[in-house]
């Protein structure tokens, strides 16, 4: 799949990766760092990918020693701040992949922001770490 990445001076991304999952897995997770270079807050309102039925923003919390995930509608990032989407915390849940992905594959992922242009990323699949 070809993915024409877009860049923005207002919003930067780095360290993007998708955790490789076993064949037939119904959910994968994507992680990255989003940096807001603006003097006002931005809001990540969602994400999408032609490679998955849906993409949701999720947050993992611990309760009584049990990890629980819940969908959150959006993610605010303050001016000149960064938000890390990482294992065990906030992340993008990639639901019902249309194919199996293995380490080395590149997945096209689109980040949607309120009042800002979408960012199109080519995200590498990596073995779990």
Say what the pTM is.
0.90
Query: What's residue 129's pLDDT?
Result: 61
Phi, psi of 31 (to 5 degrees): -130, 150
Residues 6 or more apart whose Cβ sits within 8 Å of residue 45: 73, 74, 112, 113, 114
Q: What stretches in the chain show pLDDT beneath 70?
A: 1-2, 4-8, 128-129
Cα–Cα dist 108/120, whole Å: 7
**Tens-place pLDDT, residues 81-110:** 999 999 989 999 999 999 999 999 999 999
Domain ranges in the chain?
11-123
Pairing of the two strands 11-19 and 116-126: parallel
pLDDT at 8: 67
Choose the CATH number for 11-123 among 2.60.40.1890, 3.40.50.300, 3.30.1540.10, 3.40.50.970: 2.60.40.1890
């Amino acid at each position: 799949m070809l993915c024409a990445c877009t860049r923005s001076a207002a919003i930067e991304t780095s360290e993007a990766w998708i955790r490789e999952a076993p064949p037939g897995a119904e959910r994968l997770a994507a992680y990255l760092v989003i940096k807001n270079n603006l003097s006002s807050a931005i809001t990540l309102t969602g994400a999408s990918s032609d490679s998955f039925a849906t993409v949701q923003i999720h947050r993992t919390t611990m309760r009584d020693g049990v990890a629980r995930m819940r969908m959150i509608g959006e993610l605010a990032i303050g001016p000149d701040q960064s938000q890390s989407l990482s294992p065990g915390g906030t992340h993008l849940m990639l639901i019902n992949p249309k194919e199996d992905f293995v380490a080395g594959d590149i997945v096209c992922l689109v980040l949607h922001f309120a009042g800002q242009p979408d960012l199109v990323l080519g995200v590498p699949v990596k073995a779990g770490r």
